[in-house]
Amino acid sequence: MKNQSLNRFGGLSLRDILLSILLLVPLLSAANSYAQDRPQLKPKPLPTPKVEPKSEDQERVRVFTEEVRLPVSAMDQYGHYDPTLEIDDVLVLEDGEPQKIRSVRHVPANVLFILDTGGDGNGLSGLSKKTSTTRAVALKVISRLPEGDRIAVMQSSNQAELLQSWTDDVDDVTRTLTWKMFAGKRSRLFETMTKAAQLLSDQPEGSRHVILVTDGVETPGGKVPLDDALKQLLGVRATVHVISYTAFVRQKTDQHNVTLVTKDNPIAGDPVITNDPTLPPGVNRGGPTFGVGITFDPAMRRVRKAYEAETKKSEKWLATLADETGGRIFLPMSTDEMIDEGEEVAREIGAEYVVTYRPTRALAGAKPGEYRKVEVASRRVGLHLHSRRGYIVPNP
């Protein structure tokens, strides 16, 4: 028993142990040789970003940058919003070439008011635009806009001023229009248009709207030329709707070209003297009736004529701006008609879709400031479509 315990270790015989040692020696020798011959490893550098092949998601991003988002208003034969517009209903031509429509969607609008409340110092008090009327127009519009639309308000008065930042809270906008609007002696309309373009650039393209309530007349002394203001507003690719005072104030100016003046009669106001029943009708003891005379104020008439000429000029560029961007210009002739046009503007905004397409000519290959003409037509009987005339290719 003792010899057996000495010859075995943990159940292994001495012979087995010796054989195992003989087998391990060559393996250990080979491992040691490999460790000596193996090159020393250097510290592992920090990982660097790898350039992966373009995935499907990356391709979608690239396509999005090449996508044109075109605002298109859709009306039925009765002039009402058509809620059934589909891709096959729309034909888009860009520079005369038909485009493949990718999507047609109705999305909430971003509506920026530019309210012109300046110019009361032009010597035409009562004949030019009125802040109270402008406020009433804006209130009419917001009361008719679809729920979910976002609104901002800018005022052109002594300076360009943001009265209300973007919000979908109609009550907030109503309070702003009621308490923050004021009349000023100057109108910085062109400066306000430029700042409006900057404010709109952060909003999704295709849903940008401007409602411009103005006579279009800038007070002399502004730092922003009209051409620069138009370029900025056209470049942001917003739909511009204009409710213009131009026809309204010209009509009122014509009515005031002749001034009626009542001459004073020192005793004509005494009812006892002037209404003597003992005298024949039309005869009184107050002397001759001074009555009503007609007089002309040459200086005021010159001011009115100059203002009328300015409104004729402004009406032209306002109409071109609206037409180019796919909006409309309204030329009301009375205060009530002007306020009613606010409802029509809201209806136009509510009827607008965003039509998207990828141009057959890539935007990336366009020249700086390149203009592309756009035509939109309906493929369905009874459907009327309206959009902008074209767009300036955005900078990459």
Do 306 and 162 belong to one domain?
yes
Helix (H, G, I), strand (E, B) or coil at 344: helix
Tell me if 342 is assigned to some domain.
yes
Do 220 and 157 belong to one domain?
yes
The answer to whether the beta carbons of residues 286 and 274 sit under 8 Å apart is yes
Nearest 5°: the CA angle 319, 322, 328 is: 90
Q: How far apart are CA 388 and CA 114, in angstroms?
A: 20
Q: What is the pLDDT of residue 394?
A: 81
Do 118 and 233 belong to one domain?
yes
Do 141 and 272 belong to one domain?
no
Do 162 and 210 belong to one domain?
yes
Tell me if 193 is assigned to some domain.
yes
Helix (H, G, I), strand (E, B) or coil at 170: helix
Q: What is the pLDDT of residue 260?
A: 44
Q: What is the pLDDT of residue 300?
A: 76
Strand partners, 308: none
Tell me if 19 is assigned to some domain.
no
Do 223 and 340 belong to one domain?
yes
Rg for the chain, CA atoms, rounded: 39
Q: What is the pLDDT of residue 368?
A: 85
Tell me if 69 is assigned to some domain.
no
Do 305 and 280 belong to one domain?
no
State the helix-helix crossing angle for 170-179 and 131-144, rounded to 10 degrees: 180
Q: What are the tokens at 338?
A: 């002007």
Tell me if 285 is assigned to some domain.
yes
Do 142 and 250 belong to one domain?
yes
**Please, what's the largest Cα pairwise distance for the chain?**
172
Whole-model pTM: value is 0.73
- Give me the residue label for tokens 């009419």: 140
Tell me if 135 is assigned to some domain.
yes
Q: The domain spanning residue 339 has which CATH number?
A: 3.40.50.410
Q: What is the pLDDT of residue 228?
A: 96
Q: How far apart are CA 358 and CA 342, in angstroms?
A: 34
Burial of 304 (0-12, 13-18, 19+ CB in 10 A): buried
Tell me if 340 is assigned to some domain.
yes
Do 120 and 186 belong to one domain?
yes
Do 288 and 306 belong to one domain?
no
Q: What is the pLDDT of residue 62?
A: 38
Q: What is the pLDDT of residue 395?
A: 74
Do 315 and 395 belong to one domain?
no
Strand partners, 152: 112
Q: What are the tokens at 191?
A: 């400066």
Do 143 and 249 belong to one domain?
yes
Last residue of a domain, one of 246, 274, 295: 295
Q: How many domains does the chain have?
A: 3
Tell me if 18 is assigned to some domain.
no
Strand partners, 377: 91
User: Structural domain of residue 196, as residue ranges?
Assistant: 107-255+301-352
The segments of the chain whose pLDDT lies below 50 read 1-9, 31, 34-35, 38-39, 41-44, 46-64, 121, 125, 258-269, 272-273, 288-294
User: What is the per-residue pLDDT across 190-235, written as a single tens digit (0 to 9) for each?
Assistant: 999 999 999 999 999 889 999 999 999 999 999 999 999 999 999 9
